[in-house]
Amino acid sequence: MKLRHAMVCASNQNRSMEAHALLQRQGLNVSSYGTGSHVKLPGPSAREPNVYSFGTPYRVMLEDLMKKDPELYKRNGLLQMLKRNLGVKEAPQRWQDNAADGTFDVVFTFEERVFDTVIDDLENRETNLMKLALIINMDVKDNHDEAAIGGKLALDLCQRLEQADAWEDEIDDIVSRFEKQHRRRLMYTIRFY
């Protein structure tokens, strides 16, 4: 049973890309997206983030940050992150614009706000394929360490779903077991494509 997974966070940089990289390495069919209106990376101060539009290649961002302040961005891990990302795919993608990428079986979000956005978006898609999509949310803080943990957990859950004969029948169990084992709260819902 090969499921199509989508990892979704706000900017398609840290959490979703961590998970994307991990799942991809494990041979799962995975894509990743961000739901924000722009890709935002921390800048020299909280009020001056680096803002890019979705579709800007990671390589361009990397070069941009290298140019701006290589020390700072090396210290806060952005450069490493971007290097990792450009090995996974070319550029961040926006969830709301992914209609052409086909349907997903599992959409994994890392923040409730993102979860809501994804649901909202799916409700407005007006397709009628009668195809189920499981949308799962697990709150993960947007920093490198948490993202690494979150990625592993996402991988674990997705593998469980993948192993199930039909996740539709077992989702409650899977989620419960997962929650118990990892002591993380999940939230999930179902939408139809």
Partner 1 sequence: MAGIREQAVALLNEVKMTGEASAKVDLLKTLMELVLYRDPLSLLPEFVPYLMEFQTEPGSPIRKYLAEMIEGIGMKHVDFVPVIVPVLLSLLQDATPAVARRAITSGSNIFRSVLEQVALQGVYSGQVERRLVDCWNWMTCFKDAVFSLAFQHGNDGVRLLALKFVETTILLFTPDPNGLLPNQQSSDGTSRGFNMTWIAGGHPVLDATVLGQEASKNLGLLLNQLRTPEASTLPCLVAIVIINSLAGIAKKRPSMFGRILPVLLALAPNCEPIQGSQIASVIHELKSAFLNLLKSNQPGALPWRDRLVAALRSMNVGDIADQTIRHLERAVRVAERNRTAKDTRVSTKERISPFVSTPQVSTIQVIAPAPVDMSLRKRSLPQENGNVQSIDFNEVSGKRSRHDVAPITTQGEATPVIPNGTGNVMGNTAAYGDHSVAPLISAFATLLAQGERGAASVQILIESLTPDMLAEIVIANMVHLPSTPPFTPEVNFGANWGLGPIPPSGPPEIPVNPVTSLPIESAPALQPYSSTADLSQDLRKDPRRLDPRPAVPSDGVTVLLTPKLEVEVNAVPPPVANAQTGNSNLENTLNVSTNSRDPRAMFHVNANHRSIGQSHIQVKQELKQEPLQEPKQEPIELENRVVSDPSLPSSPPPQSGVSTVPVPSPVITLLPLSAEQQAALSTASLVRIMENHKTIAAAGGADLRIALLARLVAQSYEDTEVLKVLQKHVLADYQAHKGHELVLHVLYQLFAEHACSDVEQPMSTSLAYEQFLLSLAQGLRDKISAGDRSLSRLLGEAPVVPMSTLKLVEELCNPPSGAESSKGEHVTAGLTALWSLILQRPPTRDTCLKMALKCTVHESDDTRAKAIRLVANKLYPLKFVAQNIEDFATASLLSVVDHQSGDTAERDILEGDNTVKTDLMNEDQRVANGVAPMDVAGDEGAQQPTTAAKNTEVLSLSEAQRCMSLFFALCTKKHALLRQLFQVYGRSSKVVKQAVHRHIPILFRTIGSSSQELLQLIADPPAGSENLLLQVLHSLTDGTEPSEELIATVKKLYDVKFQDATYLIPVLSSLSKDEVTPIFPRLVDLSNEKFQAALARILQGSAHTGPALTPAEVLISLHGIDPHRDSVPLKKVMDACATCLQQRTVFTQQVLAKVLNQLVEQTPLPLLFMRTVIQAVHSFPSLESFVMEILSRLVSKQIWKLPKLWTGFLKCAHQTKPKSFHVLLQLPTAQLEDALKGFPSLKEPLAAHADQPSVRPTVPRSSLVLLGLCQDTPAASNSTSAGQESNTEVSKQ
The tokens describing 189, both together, are 């819902």
Least Cβ distance, residue 192 to partner 1 (angstroms): 5
Cβ partners under 8 Å of residue 44, min gap 6: 69, 72
SS3 at position 102: coil
Comparison of 69 and 121: residue with beta carbon closer to partner 1: 121
Least Cβ distance, residue 86 to partner 1 (angstroms): 35
The tokens describing 152, both together, are 């592993």
Secondary structure percentages of the chain, helix, strand, coil, to 5: 50, 20, 35
Least Cβ distance, residue 97 to partner 1 (angstroms): 18
Q: Measured between alpha carbons, how far is 140 from 190 in angstroms, rounded to an integer?
A: 21
Which residues are paired to 29 by β-bridges? 4
* Count of residues interacting with partner 1 (CB under 8 A): 29
Site string for partner 1, 73-92 (x = CB under 8 A): --------------------
Q: Is 126 in the site for partner 1 (CB under 8 A)?
A: yes
Name which position in 131, 143, 159, 163 contacts partner 1 (CB under 8 A).
131
Name which position in 67, 130, 145, 183 contacts partner 1 (CB under 8 A).
130
Q: At 100, give phi and psi (nearest 5°).
A: -75, -15
CB 157 within 8 A of CB 108: yes
CB 111 within 8 A of CB 10: yes
Site string for partner 1, 27-66 (x = CB under 8 A): ----------------------------------------
Find the binding residues for partner 1 in span 136-165 (CB under 8 A). Answer: 165
Least Cβ distance, residue 184 to partner 1 (angstroms): 12
Q: Is 132 in the site for partner 1 (CB under 8 A)?
A: yes
Name which position in 116, 121, 139, 156 contacts partner 1 (CB under 8 A).
116
Which residues are paired to 13 by β-bridges? none
Q: Measured between alpha carbons, how far is 110 from 136 in angstroms, rounded to an integer?
A: 8
Least Cβ distance, residue 121 to partner 1 (angstroms): 12
Element (H, E) at 108: strand 106-109
**Interaction site with partner 1 (CB under 8 A):** 116, 119-120, 123, 126-132, 165-169, 171-172, 175-176, 179, 185-192
